[in-house]
A = this chain, B = another copy of it.
Amino acid sequence: MDRDILDFTKSISFDKRLAPYDIEGSIAYAQMLGKCKIISKKEKDLLVKGLRSLKERIGRIPLENNEDIHTAVINLLRKEIGKTADKLHLGRSRNDQVVLDLRLYCKDEVKQVIEKIKKLQRSLWERAKDWRGLTIPFYTHLKNAQFILFAHQFLAYIGMLERDKGRLGDVFKRMDIMPLGSGAGRGSGLPLDRFYLAKKLNFSQVSENSLDSVSDRDFVIEFLSTLAILSMHLSRISEDFILFCSDEFGFIEGDDSHFTGSSILPHKKNPDPLELIRGYTGKMYGNLISVLVMMKGLPLSYNRDMQLDKPPLFDSLDIIKDSLNILEKIVSKLKVNKENLKRASSNEFIFATDIAEFLVTQGYSWQEAHNLTGKLVLESIRKKKPLKEMSDKELKKIIPELTQELILDFLDPLKSVRRIKTYGGSGPESVENQIKHWGKILR
């Protein structure tokens, strides 16, 4: 075999990550071969013992000389127990073996990602609790819309992440299918007990068609897609935080040990880790696309192209786990700048919608209420007189129902949010309920 081509086709540099799963699968396979009398009890015991010993040590053995992880494991086992090792070839092909390894790996990873999401949610929840009394404008079109409780925004993030967990749970179901026994693609002439294998390896189902079993990488793509959406969520949270950290917004501040400072401006802190989390979204999308493209138009069954499903998957998992860790750290020490939040509430016109809503409850039609409030705002601008300085007379000339007292009431952000009544809204009661709800779930 040509040296360069061998190097080009080798997968050991990345699939060595599957080593523990490959051994785990082989142990179960040996046990099944024994149970089905395809090999003797003695052979089975020898195989299992050798594999278990190998599992302990494999992390410390250089594997680079092998073509792939499956060959590496057999070669090492042969060194340990002799040619009985080759009995593992009976009825098994690399085509079904690699799918098994990958499914075992993915199932583990799903659980880890879910745990990390949960940890991040908990930190967000802590902030929501801390800042339940603070108000902040929420933004549409990056313009101030109306006031909300700051907690409400963090609760929104928690909800976004909860959907990610739901998706991961669904992907898990389609990973949880045992492919071994499909051979190269048509099954085997040996009486392999695939249900026994599934039980041993903790799978809830056995695959139903051998050809499909070795051709299917849906679960990889679905995983990558789920992680891409999760990453999009992290990019949005990061964007919000980057904005809120800017000199112009100034609502929040990261910890000194988290944000990159400058030797000149010790207090100047750049939100570098947040920018990287946002930037990594590109890679996450790219990894998804790369496997989708690789699978496009491939005839059944196994094609060597499919070996390339692993690097993007491994990369996306490394990125997302790091990103979740880092974001959790940052959120856990996020500080709020109350002064700047207060300054943000000085824009009287944010409250115009509140006034219009009030007028509607006073019997005005929606259109009238909007028109009248618009007039009031224009008057304030024209006269260069803030609303709160307008006299009862001036107010009533435009809207008879208004008084200065009422206006002062309207211009209070906390009173503004207290008027919210809907389930899931940013009213104090709803926010308290949300906090309680998540408190139970994230316990």
Kindly identify which residue among B181, B229, B295, B356 contacts A422, using a CB–CB cutoff of 8 Å: B181
Interface residue? A148 (CB, 8 A): yes
Closest to A251 in B: B248
- Complex formed: what's the CA distance from A142 to B245 in Å? 9
Interface residue? A121 (CB, 8 A): no
Q: Judge whether B249 and A276 touch: CB under 8 Å.
A: no
Interface residue? A199 (CB, 8 A): no
Q: Judge whether B264 and A283 touch: CB under 8 Å.
A: no
Given contacts A210-B424, A211-B148, A266-B374, contact A305 B326 (CB under 8 A): no
Chain A 268-302 residues near chain B, CB threshold 8 A: 268, 270-273, 275-276, 278-283, 285-302
Please give, as numbers and ranges, the residues of chain B lying within 8 Å of A290 by CB-CB distance.
282-283, 285-287
Q: Judge whether B322 and A8 touch: CB under 8 Å.
A: yes
Closest to A381 in B: B267
Q: Judge whether A304 and B279 touch: CB under 8 Å.
A: yes
Complex A-B: 18 CB contacts under 8 Å: A1-B260, A83-B365, A86-B367, A141-B272, A143-B245, A143-B271, A147-B186, A167-B170, A170-B170, A188-B420, A189-B361, A218-B229, A225-B225, A265-B352, A267-B377, A282-B295, A282-B308, A285-B292
Interface residue? A370 (CB, 8 A): yes
Interface residue? A80 (CB, 8 A): no
Interface residue? A113 (CB, 8 A): no
Interface residue? A195 (CB, 8 A): yes
Report the minimal beta-carbon distance from A147 to chain B, rounded to whole angstroms: 8
- Complex formed: what's the CA distance from A419 to B72 in Å? 31
The 10 closest A-B pairs by CB, nearest first: A187-B425, A279-B305, A286-B290, A282-B294, A282-B293, A286-B286, A275-B304, A187-B422, A141-B270, A156-B212
Q: Judge whether A285 and B289 touch: CB under 8 Å.
A: yes
Contact digits for A146-161, partner B, Cβ 8 Å, 1 yes 0 no: 1110001101100110
Kindly identify which residue among B194, B258, B361, B373 contacts A424, using a CB–CB cutoff of 8 Å: B194
Q: Judge whether A420 and B189 touch: CB under 8 Å.
A: yes
Kindly identify which residue among B232, B272, B357, B420 contacts A296, using a CB–CB cutoff of 8 Å: B232
Q: Is the interface of A mostly helix, strand, loop or mixed?
A: helix
- Complex formed: what's the CA distance from A381 to B267 in Å? 9
Interface range, A side? 35 or more
Kindly identify which residue among B87, B247, B356, B374 contacts A143, using a CB–CB cutoff of 8 Å: B247
Interface residue? A79 (CB, 8 A): no
Given contacts A300-B156, A361-B189, A370-B264, contact A270 B143 (CB under 8 A): yes
Kindly identify which residue among B89, B243, B265 contacts A374, using a CB–CB cutoff of 8 Å: B265
Please give, as numbers and ranges, the residues of chain B lying within 8 Å of A59 by CB-CB distance.
none
Given contacts A229-B221, A425-B188, contact A142 B265 (CB under 8 A): no
Q: Judge whether B273 and A9 touch: CB under 8 Å.
A: yes
Kindly identify which residue among B142, B192, B215, B216 contacts A303, using a CB–CB cutoff of 8 Å: B142
Please give, as numbers and ranges, the residues of chain B lying within 8 Å of A181 by CB-CB distance.
422-425
Contact digits for A175-198, partner B, Cβ 8 Å, 1 yes 0 no: 000000111111111111011000
- Complex formed: what's the CA distance from A333 to B222 in Å? 32
Q: Judge whether B229 and A302 touch: CB under 8 Å.
A: no
- Complex formed: what's the CA distance from A383 to B416 in Å? 37
Q: Judge whether B86 and A365 touch: CB under 8 Å.
A: yes
Q: Judge whether B240 and A300 touch: CB under 8 Å.
A: yes
Interface residue? A437 (CB, 8 A): yes
Report the minimal beta-carbon distance from A182 to chain B, rounded to whole angstroms: 7
